[in-house]
Amino acid sequence: MPLILTEEQTMLQDAADGFLAEHAPLDHLRKLRDDRDPDGLSRDLWRGFGEMGFAGVLIPEAHGGLGLRRRGGGDR
């Protein structure tokens, strides 16, 4: 059964794709892995994720998130 995204889901997916393409290209992610950063993540990348609202995509609306389920969160 094919998954057909709503217009809102498509917009969210496009925004995430664009953000990651600009701020987290594959070479950046490989550098994080290869440098064995003690944090294991890019704080700047996560800060940007939060600023874009992506951190709250799966959080229920009652708790300040968007309340989307896994498929609503743009899962392919």
pLDDT of residue 62: 92
pLDDT of residue 55: 84
**Cα–Cα dist 35/53, whole Å:** 28
Check residue 54 and report its DSSP letter.
G
pLDDT of residue 39: 80
Tokens, residue 59: 């959080």
Note the pLDDT tens digit of each residue in 13-57. Answer: 899 999 999 998 888 888 888 988 788 788 898 899 889 888 888
Whether residue 73 is predicted with pLDDT greater than 70 in this model: the reply is no
pLDDT of residue 1: 58
